[in-house]
Structure 1
């Protein structure tokens, strides 16, 4: 707590990464096991949305990302919130008028989990232009928690970034640059619902591969890199390449 001239301000300090955890293969294995369990559970949800189009979901994702950027949220808030949204949309039918309410509530929950300071409900109401009220968000919060079975530790691509980059042979300085670029790609992937069919760990591997290409990393033959990264995520090379093709297509569309 800092107190100067009668004003109070809270200072936050981000935790440092523990090299013992990043270097321990058991941690990565446990993350992959948790990911498989969650994906198996989510695949049992078979709700079909009749009033929500892919374009609406895309617009919601970009709105949520914009809110996170404007409020300087931690990088994990948006993908975590989008993961909540996708689970909910696969769990119960939603009217289009409630789509932004769902997104706002999921942002609130994700900010409580991953942001230094949670997004205030009044801020979320403001960014909806008044189409969603604070009262509605408060009502929906316990509803969404029940849909998620109070399991808010949903595995996202960003959970794997540092663990996988720890195993890439490069300098610490270069690793930091790769981390930044791969993290940006991973965030953009959560704006495209077509990529949700791939495991978060697979998406992470593809994002790291893309970042390495951006910085001119040459691995010859190229299949060696794909084999290495796909092995880290316990997936097949074909699945890795399919995810890469889907991501390249998504990024091309977004940059137009």
Structure 2
């Protein structure tokens, strides 16, 4: 990581595109084969958990996303952390008071796996307003690892975005397509109704929602290419795109009316800061 002149935050230095990754059809095939092992295997709200409700998960995952944003974590950290949280809740019953502790622990483990700089435990304690302690997170880290049998490197919706965009002729039509797709994936991972949705389907819907929101000319081609590449049914894709659009309605500020100054944002804002009216008018929003 290195800093730009006049900027206090480090900027990502991305590696060159690896042909062994983006030109080999086995990569997506392996992702599709492996993802089934990491999809939560039950509706834990009805089958496992007694004290944890869907709205509680929404609150905690939104908090987790805000932590990742403030700490400028890599985009891959948050989806993995939520996947760990959901899989843990499928196998271990907890109290509602322990849900934020679990979220902090999942952020710690995910950042160790996917980030260049792991989130410090002290920082995570501070983000909980010190409602959990250093020892709490340490002990729950061991609990998380044991309950998931150390099977942590899950396939998430994030993993498909670059694979699809880099392999499609329309992938370079907008330099915002990748950014918007990643943001939509993060929004989807806060939604309780999508817990058991395969990550490939989430990625397919987010890419197509981003293509439509940016008003790219490749909308029909994008549907066909993504469905073919990720083995997604067109009807399923269209339904999930509508779900993504409704989620975006809740978190993206409304477009300014004529005569008002533009309020372009530089990053995804917390849902508590905006209740917009129009979902896919995102061409002026820089996630």
Higher mean displacement: 45-54 or 147-156? 45-54
In 1: Cα distance, 2:166 partner to 2:92 partner: 39
Partner of 1:130: 130
Which structure has the highest helix share of the two?
Answer: 1
Shift of 1:170: 3.0
**Partners of 2:168 and 2:225 within 8 A in 1:** no
User: 2:231 is matched with which residue: 234, 244, 255?
Assistant: 234
Flag structure 1 segments of 5+ consecutive residues without an equivalent: 3-10
Equivalent positions of 1:85-124 (< 5 A) are: 85-124=85-124
Partner of 2:272: none
Partner of 1:189: 188
In 1: Cα distance, 2:145 partner to 2:171 partner: 42
Flag structure 2 segments of 5+ consecutive residues without an equivalent: 3-10, 253-274, 276-287
Partner of 2:164: 164
Shift of 1:166: 1.6
Q: TM-score, normalised by structure 1?
A: 0.87
**Partners of 2:185 and 2:202 within 8 A in 1:** yes
Equivalent positions of 1:1-256 (< 5 A) are: 14-39=14-39, 42-43=40-41, 47-170=47-170, 172=172, 174=173, 176-219=175-218, 222=220, 225-255=222-252, 256=275
In 2: Cα distance, 1:97 partner to 1:45 partner: 20
Partner of 1:7: none
Shift of 1:38: 2.9
**Partners of 1:12 and 1:116 within 8 A in 2:** no
Aligned-CA RMSD value = 2.3
**Partners of 2:42 and 2:90 within 8 A in 1:** no
Change (3 A) 1:216 1:44: closer
Shift of 1:171: 6.4
Shift of 1:207: 1.1
In 1: Cα distance, 2:26 partner to 2:103 partner: 34
**Partners of 1:77 and 1:107 within 8 A in 2:** yes
In 1: Cα distance, 2:91 partner to 2:124 partner: 24
Shift of 1:141: 0.7
In 2: Cα distance, 1:80 partner to 1:166 partner: 22
**Partners of 1:155 and 1:200 within 8 A in 2:** yes
Partner of 2:269: none
Per-residue CA deviations over 1:107-161 (Å, capped at 9, x if unaligned) read: 0000100111111111111111110000011111111001111011111111011
Between Structure 1 and Structure 2, how many residues are aligned?
243
Q: TM-score, normalised by structure 2?
A: 0.78
In 1: Cα distance, 2:123 partner to 2:76 partner: 19
